[in-house]
Amino acid sequence: FHAFWADEPGLVAGLAGKWLHRPVIVSSAGGEFVYLPDIQYGTSGSRFRRAVVRLALQLADVATAGSRYQEDLCLIQRVPAERVKRLPLGVETDHFGTAPLPAGPLTMVQAGSLIPVKNQRLLIAILARVRAQIPDAQLLVAGKGPLWATLVQQAEGMQIAGAINWLGEIAYPDMPAVYAQAHLYVQTSRHESQGMAVLEAMACGRPVVGTPVGVARELALLPDTMNPAGFAHKITQLWSDQVLLRQKSKQASAMVQEHYALSRVVECFNDLYVRVKALK
C-alpha cells in the first residue's frame, strides 16, 4: 500500500498493511509535520491529528519526502533514518520544456492558490521594492483563492496594481506558456513539502528566488534576509547581470531534467516498491 499524506491516508494504509501483511509506504505531501498558528495552517495544531500522523509513521515500512526540507521534518517525528527516503514527485519535462527568456521588462511569476500559507502579501511587497529600482518590473500571478480581494487592495495601496497581472486559475496544459512570459519565479511560501510549481518553472528555464522551504531550500537563490528588501536585492542583483541570469536559466532546466524528470522518478518509485516488497 502506498499512501499520499501521512495523516488519515497513511493511517488507513498502515492499518490495512498490518492486517493483510502487506508492506506500506507513506509519502508526506503537505503540512502534516507543521503548524503555523497565526494562519491556522498545518496538522500539528491538533493533538488528535498529531497522534494520527505518529501512528501512521510507526506503521509504515518506508516514509518518503519530496525535499530535503520535508525529510528533516519527517526525521523530527522520530522516524528512524533508515526508514526515511527522499523521493520527490516528478515533472513532465516533455510538457514543461526550456523556453527562451523573453524580451522586455523584468517579469516575475508565481503560481499558487491565494491563501495565507503561500504568503502573497510578501510577494506584493517584494514587487514594490523591486520597482523602486526597476520601475517597469512586472508580476504575473497564476491562481485563485479567498485572499484575492485583500491582495488587490494591498497592491492598490502600494500603488503597484497596474504592474500585476492576476491571471486567475490556469489549466495545467497552459502553464508552460505562463512561465515562458517571465524571467524568474518567486516563491514566498511559509511552507511547502516539495513545491511542484517551482520545479515546473525551473524545467522551463526560470531561475527561482524563494523562501527556504520545500525544494527551494536546496535549489533556489535564497535571499540573505526573508523580507521584501532581501528578496528585492537578490532579484535586482540577478537582473543586473544578464549573463548570470542566462546561466542560472540553463542550470535550472538541467537540474530538473537530471533529477526530477517524471520518467526518472517513476523508476525510483518502482525500485522502492521492489525493495519494500522484499521486506514482507
Q: How far is CA 225 from CA 131, 152, 186, 229, 233, in A?
A: 18, 25, 14, 8, 10
DSSP string, 142-177: EB--TTHHHHHHHHHHTT-GGGEEEEE---GGGHHH
Q: How far is CA 54 from CA 57, 147, 272, in A?
A: 5, 32, 22
> What type of residue sits at position 42?
G
Task: Answer positive or negative: Cα dihedral of 171, 28, 6, 61.
Answer: positive
Position 171 scores a pLDDT of: 96
User: Could you give the CA distance from residue 10 to residue 51 in angstroms, rounded to a whole number?
Assistant: 12
**Are 181 and 32 a contacting pair, CB within 8 Å?**
no
Note down pLDDT in tens along the chain; length 280 residues. 999 999 999 999 999 999 999 999 999 999 999 999 999 999 999 999 999 999 999 999 999 999 999 999 999 998 999 999 999 999 999 999 999 999 999 999 999 999 999 999 999 999 999 999 999 999 999 999 999 999 999 999 999 999 999 999 999 999 999 999 999 999 999 999 999 999 999 999 999 999 999 999 999 999 999 999 999 999 999 999 999 999 999 999 999 999 999 999 999 999 999 999 887 6
